[in-house]
Chain A
């Protein structure tokens, strides 16, 4: 855990340096003025928290300031931290008593699904589980090859279809293969699709249904992979994917970039979706359970010095 936290902190250090340098100024030893709130608003909006969440956080802090009689900006710091932290649940990573547990990975194009599948496979294997991969992205050029490379590297079996094959059929075969081989977890990678593309969302629903036919009760989890650099559209993505295939959790990919991933606050609040994992690099081991403490700490690291 300590190692995870370290990796998390190094990953986020870049983020906070790039973005939150100014917070140190905001929380200098000056008095709280209208400008303080403006600056705070700027900072939160720039972290992609969105206007609504930002306003909400600030109102809440203003109430606190009044009721506790806070005067100095420095005093705001710990309250801001608490305020942000309170808005994120610590993820409860699911444990399945079924075998195989089928996990469907969904998301828009380029969000990082395939890399995340590889990272998850690596992680589950490290827990001593037997994993099988299903490459149901039969649309994008060489998507299957990409997962095949990972499967070879990680030495996990892969079930794939031909280019342009029916993704439902590939998913079905993957579940069947998982049953036959008696693996613990089947991870199914799907093609990236914009949530506004009706036909592609219908196709995804079909994959979902087919998986349920191959194994009643499946999929046992549907995880949405979100690019941390995404802005306010992330909420809409999460909403649409949840509506279509009952997303059960979110994985925040590419959090090691300069992006801050502030839209997870809105996703948690509006859709009640837990943030399960965070992607913190391009290596298979660069996936950590989402740690709200570290997430908020990373954001606020600069003025805790």
Chain B
């Protein structure tokens, strides 16, 4: 997400790290770069100004002279200030009498309807009884879009094109009360914060149903306008939180920093994909770390946990410990790894220099390699997979033919497998320090 900003700051601080002592001129040089990087990341101009001023003041002050490594000290200050600006994470507000109303608002195309589906899925998985309300009668087929998502999730959707959104919401509320629903998610039409008529409509909705959470959905790719958009919505309906959508792109997402800094509204979720499970909670430290090139290791681990089938893993570990790790297990592991998402996305999460090296590798080529390995193993008989020792030249030729590869590819794979086996043995001894090598 914040790759380029990361690269920028790394460049700046690599320069600083090479020097022993930090002068005001050093700090100023670094701050110029920080400023540029933040502006290029779409952080709002005024926010950048304040931010840089704060960091500069702290960096030139007494703290730096106390520091062992001035460059590290500056990184630390920037990191801390970023965390400060990004603010504490806030969960959904699910307090008060049921049904609790969550209202989603935002510009056209920001991702409200998809966010509504994602929230419905999340809340239902937490045992809430969810009702969706299709409050966008304007855009053609917006109602059908929510209905389709509702059907996928098996969550009922209230819609009535003949009612104005405030009236529809009010009616849905009484339906939710009677039906014993615990949460009602209201999707609304996309609108510009300058559109008085539609902003009045939002006010009318909030008067009728009193949302416990009014979430502004903002596209991570939004530019300097983010600030004014957030202010406009906040002034109209007192938004209480932010969902930053499309964070799986390569937009630097500086809007997050801007909106936080100026409105004080907490970031509640990040949208990280088109599928309904692609909604992540927000962690300021992780985001700040990522901005600073310290990698998103926590995110990577979480993804691994989510994708990993615990039972299979247990079986594999047992076999591993017994020294029975086979090509079959290897295949299974690779498939599980790919379940974690596109390789490129995972590589971005890796920390520091390793992450940079990984980013420079071509993810498509790596993906191709994985596919080739899968094809080769799939072309082996079960016996061969369990006992690669029996793979003689003729078997290898057959496998190459079957998988559309060369014998050299097969040979390479078997060599790699032996290396992996060795790695697992080391892993057993060192207790996990070799694990990161698996991701290379």
Q: Do A and B bind each other?
A: yes
Residues of chain A having any CB pair with chain B under 8 Å: 14, 18-19, 42, 45-48, 50-51, 108-112, 115, 139-143, 145-146, 148-150, 153, 163, 194-199, 227, 229-234, 236-237, 254, 256-260, 262-263, 282
Q: Which 9 A-B pairs have the closest CB atoms?
A: A231-B223, A110-B109, A149-B140, A141-B148, A231-B42, A146-B141, A142-B144, A145-B141, A142-B145
Residues of A within 8 A of B110 (CB): 110
Task: Pick from A139, A196, A254, A263: contact of B248, CB below 8 A.
Answer: A196
Q: Are A109 and B344 closer than 8 Å at their CB atoms?
A: no
Having A198-B364, A237-B221, A282-B138, one finds 17 other A-B pairs with CB under 8 Å, namely: A48-B225, A108-B249, A110-B111, A112-B109, A142-B141, A145-B141, A198-B342, A198-B344, A227-B109, A229-B222, A230-B221, A231-B222, A231-B226, A258-B194, A258-B228, A263-B223, A282-B139
Task: Pick from B39, B145, B146: contact of A146, CB below 8 A.
Answer: B145
Residues of A within 8 A of B364 (CB): 198
Q: Say whether, besides A18-B194, A46-B45, A259-B225, A141 and B149 are in contact (CB < 8 Å).
A: yes
CA gap between A298 and B339 in the complex, in Å: 49
Show 8 A/B contacts (Cβ-Cβ < 8 Å), sorted by A.
A48-B224, A141-B144, A194-B250, A199-B342, A229-B107, A232-B40, A232-B252, A257-B107
Q: Are B367 and A198 closer than 8 Å at their CB atoms?
A: yes
Q: Are B249 and A196 closer than 8 Å at their CB atoms?
A: yes
Interface string of B324-344 (1 = CB under 8 A from A): 000000000000000000101
Q: Select the residue from B39, B193, B223, B252 with max chain A CB neighbours within 10 A.
A: B223
Q: Are A145 and B342 closer than 8 Å at their CB atoms?
A: no
Identify which of residues 318-365 in chain B touch chain A, using a CB-to-CB cut-off of 8 Å: 342, 344, 363-364
Give chain B nearest CB distance to A69 CB in angstroms.
30
Interface string of B221-253 (1 = CB under 8 A from A): 111111011001000000000000010111110
Give chain B nearest CB distance to A230 CB in angstroms.
5
Residues of B within 8 A of A197 (CB): 248, 342
Q: Say whether, besides A45-B45, A236-B250, A231 and B255 are in contact (CB < 8 Å).
A: yes
Give chain A nearest CB distance to B104 CB in angstroms.
14
Q: Select the residue from A47, A230, A237 with max chain B CB neighbours within 10 A.
A: A230
CA gap between A111 and B248 in the complex, in Å: 16
Task: Pick from A108, A140, A142, A146: contact of B246, CB below 8 A.
Answer: A108
Q: Say whether, besides A14-B194, A259-B225, A233 and B141 are in contact (CB < 8 Å).
A: no
Q: Are A233 and B250 closer than 8 Å at their CB atoms?
A: yes
Task: Pick from A109, A146, A234, A237: contact of B140, CB below 8 A.
Answer: A146
Residue of B nearest to A191 (CB): B274
Task: Pick from B40, B107, B111: contact of A109, CB below 8 A.
Answer: B111
CA gap between A146 and B111 in the complex, in Å: 16
Residues of A within 8 A of B344 (CB): 196, 198
Give chain A nearest CB distance to B311 CB in angstroms.
28
Identify which of residues 18-53 in chain B touch chain A, using a CB-to-CB cut-off of 8 Å: 36, 39-42, 44-45
Is the C-beta of B147 less than 8 angstroms from some C-beta in chain A? yes
Q: Are B107 and A148 closer than 8 Å at their CB atoms?
A: no
Residues of A within 8 A of B144 (CB): 141-142, 145-146
Give chain B nearest CB distance to A59 CB in angstroms.
15
CA gap between A262 and B255 in the complex, in Å: 16
CA gap between A197 and B342 in the complex, in Å: 8
Task: Pick from A45, A148, A233, A254: contact of B224, CB below 8 A.
Answer: A45
CA gap between A115 and B342 in the complex, in Å: 30
Residues of A within 8 A of B342 (CB): 197-199
Q: Are A231 and B194 closer than 8 Å at their CB atoms?
A: no
Q: Are A229 and B225 closer than 8 Å at their CB atoms?
A: yes
CA gap between A258 and B227 in the complex, in Å: 11
Residues of A within 8 A of B281 (CB): none
Residue of B nearest to A14 (CB): B194
Q: Are B246 and A194 closer than 8 Å at their CB atoms?
A: yes
Residues of A within 8 A of B152 (CB): 141
Residues of A within 8 A of B117 (CB): 141
CA gap between A35 and B227 in the complex, in Å: 24
Residue of B nearest to A263 (CB): B223
CA gap between A260 and B194 in the complex, in Å: 14
Interface string of B52-65 (1 = CB under 8 A from A): 00000000000000
Is the C-beta of B219 less than 8 angstroms from some C-beta in chain A? yes
Task: Pick from A19, A139, A233, A257: contact of B249, CB below 8 A.
Answer: A233
Q: Are A258 and B145 closer than 8 Å at their CB atoms?
A: no
Give chain A nearest CB distance to B318 CB in angstroms.
35
Q: Are A230 and B140 closer than 8 Å at their CB atoms?
A: no
CA gap between A90 and B239 in the complex, in Å: 41
Is the C-beta of B108 less than 8 angstroms from some C-beta in chain A? yes
Residue of B nearest to A225 (CB): B109
Give chain B nearest CB distance to A126 CB in angstroms.
20
Q: Are B40 and A194 closer than 8 Å at their CB atoms?
A: no
Task: Pick from A51, A109, A195, A231: contact of B109, CB below 8 A.
Answer: A109
Q: Are B192 and A51 closer than 8 Å at their CB atoms?
A: no
Q: Are B252 and A233 closer than 8 Å at their CB atoms?
A: yes
Residues of B within 8 A of A263 (CB): 223
Identify which of residues 298-325 in chain B touch chain A, using a CB-to-CB cut-off of 8 Å: none
CA gap between A153 and B139 in the complex, in Å: 13
Q: Are A233 and B42 closer than 8 Å at their CB atoms?
A: yes
Residues of A within 8 A of B36 (CB): 51
Residue of B nearest to A262 (CB): B223
Give chain B nearest CB distance to A288 CB in angstroms.
18
Residue of A nearest to B44 (CB): A46
Q: Are A112 and B249 closer than 8 Å at their CB atoms?
A: no
Q: Say whether, besides A108-B249, A197-B342, A257-B107, A45 and B219 are in contact (CB < 8 Å).
A: no
Residue of B nearest to A200 (CB): B274
Give chain A nearest CB distance to B400 CB in angstroms.
26
Give chain A nearest CB distance to B125 CB in angstroms.
20
CA gap between A231 and B229 in the complex, in Å: 13
Task: Pick from B109, B194, B222, B274: contact of A139, CB below 8 A.
Answer: B274
Residues of B within 8 A of A149 (CB): 140-141
Give chain A nearest CB distance to B367 CB in angstroms.
7
Give chain A nearest CB distance to B44 CB in angstroms.
8
Residue of A nearest to B36 (CB): A51
Residues of A within 8 A of B145 (CB): 140-143, 145-146
Q: Are A148 and B192 closer than 8 Å at their CB atoms?
A: no
Residues of B within 8 A of A198 (CB): 342, 344, 363-364, 367
Interface string of B376-391 (1 = CB under 8 A from A): 0000000000000000
Q: Are B139 and A258 closer than 8 Å at their CB atoms?
A: no
Identify which of residues 86-127 in chain B touch chain A, using a CB-to-CB cut-off of 8 Å: 107-111, 113, 117
CA gap between A153 and B138 in the complex, in Å: 14
Residues of A within 8 A of B252 (CB): 232-233
Residues of A within 8 A of B251 (CB): 231, 233, 236
